[in-house]
Copies of this chain bind each other. A is one copy, B any other.
């Protein structure tokens, strides 16, 4: 494809995306599609001869788009948001067009240096400790996801706990990893990948009201493990757990980690974005104890997946854990010691120029625009929680410091817990079947709970309001069914 063909088709694809965004409110959030339907509509093999882009766009409309869950839909309230925005897509387009590889500083200097700068900007914007800046001993890097950030934190923690023997000799002792009962599944996965086995995971009890990790329970477990001969290597504290956005008490946990000499990784994948607002930074109290910290601009900061921002307080520890230098990657800049080679900060060797989309987003919205986006989400969630509380059939089951509200229908008098859970499952099923919005669920204190997660820049007050009206309506139908 020549540059001029690309220009022509590029305009057409930009138009396709713009039209798609305009069409979102008219589309059902989730598709009515059975497993295998998309496969069945596609040919058995690629064409022998090339086809025009128009043919592909037609199939995109006919086969692909109707079988998508529309994560950018204003009624998408599932999981956590994974929002993108116009400037993010533009930055990604430049990234794809340049097609440079940032594995080494030398393989594209601007790709590395813009990333370092943008991560320093972000650290400032979130009010993170000075230790995380590249101008000190730390530094930031873009990972694909918080899962990968947790993995590399685990590896650096093992290297530290083993005094470097891990690198050469592998796992020489029984290392253990700690997080709350609501820590993300990626923590268990990282421990497994690192060769510790699921048995090395310690799910520390949470407070039944706040759903946050209990520091006393953490200390007890560390003591017991030490006494049993295990070597505690890593504690992962969460700011904004996946289930309820609970905030683990960082300061208390950090003090314990320091006392026991354990690496503290802070997983703020979703809620870290909130720290762009000074009034929401209380959730980060004690973050100066962290050895590493991550959050996902691709969740709640208007930047398309994949973009996890990961910082370490001491980059030398991370690099020591991950570096491997074959002959074909040797170069003068690396040997001078004056550059960052991000390949040593991550699992893969190659890397895209992902800093571009973050740079486009930060410049298009500015600090004010990003704060306005976060505040709008928090305010809508607070308003929704108020409506839930005002309806005696419902309860809000956990604090909602950010833009997620966990709620459920209260159990009917005399009903057992399982019946109560099934009623909530049915509520969620009917709600999602409407196609107007999409929510997901979790369990809190063992009970089935609905999650409404707000974050899309497309979501306005009326979308949340009509969702609440539909919830109330279905609740009425369920009551009528129970009475009838």
Contact = CB atoms under 8 A, between A and B. Distances in A.
Interface residues of A, number: 150
Interface in A23-72: 31, 33, 35-39, 42, 45-53, 55-56, 60, 63-72
B21 A17 contact: no
B90 A13 contact: yes
Nearest to A165: B197
A193 B89 contact: no
Contacts of A167: 192, 197-198
A79 B99 contact: no
Nearest to A55: B363
Interface string A312-351: 0000000000101111110001001011000000011111
Most buried by B among A19, A97, A194: A97
Q: Tell me how many chains of this kind the complex includes.
A: 2
Contacts of A6: 14, 17-18, 21, 86, 89-90
11 contacts: A14-B93, A35-B336, A38-B110, A47-B367, A64-B114, A69-B107, A71-B101, A82-B101, A193-B194, A194-B194, A243-B327
A418 to B, nearest CB: 15
A417 interface: no
A405 to B, nearest CB: 15
A88 interface: yes
Contact of A350 (B36, B97, B145, B333): B145
Given A168-B197, A369-B50, A7 B1 contact: no
A69 B451 CA distance: 46
Contacts of A79: 101, 107, 328
A99 B87 contact: no
Interface in A420-464: 440-443, 451
Interface in A82-110: 82-90, 92-94, 96-101, 105-110
Given A6-B90, A33-B109, A49-B368, 13 more contacts: A11-B11, A35-B336, A38-B117, A53-B90, A69-B108, A71-B99, A84-B97, A93-B93, A170-B200, A192-B322, A193-B193, A193-B347, A195-B196
